[in-house]
Amino acid sequence: MRSPGITLALASLFVLVQTPALLSLLGTHGARGDTGHTLYGMVFFLILLHALHVVGGVVALLVVSVRAARHRYDHESHLGVRFAAMYWHFLDGVWLMMFGTMFLFG
């Protein structure tokens, strides 16, 4: 099994880098006085939703890592690892779809 440290570091870095950018984006949106449903607001919402899912994945990864360090998983009992991996693969797919959509229509 590979160490989840790289994934954990990259996910944490993503959240760390995106937080100031999202706050700036939100400040710009508020300064313009836009209200209602705009494309700008929808993009912000999608980015924020994705970042929250990454935070959820970091929490799941931390739980799996702690349990693995305590030798709670073996060849018969490994559902936590499987579910965490499935969750991260789901996020990969969502990211690719968001990126592709923004690339095609942006």
What does the CA dihedral 57, 63, 68, 74 come to, rounded to 10 degrees? -80
pLDDT at 39: 72
pLDDT at 102: 81
pLDDT, one tens digit for every residue, the chain (106 residues): 466 778 778 878 877 887 888 788 777 766 666 555 677 777 778 777 877 888 888 899 889 989 988 999 988 889 999 999 999 898 889 889 878 988 898 7
- Chain centre distance of CA 34: 27
Q: How distant, in Å, are the alpha carbons of 6, 10, 16 from that of 13?
A: 10, 5, 5
pLDDT at 28: 75
Under DSSP, is residue 75 helix (H, G, I), strand (E, B) or coil?
coil
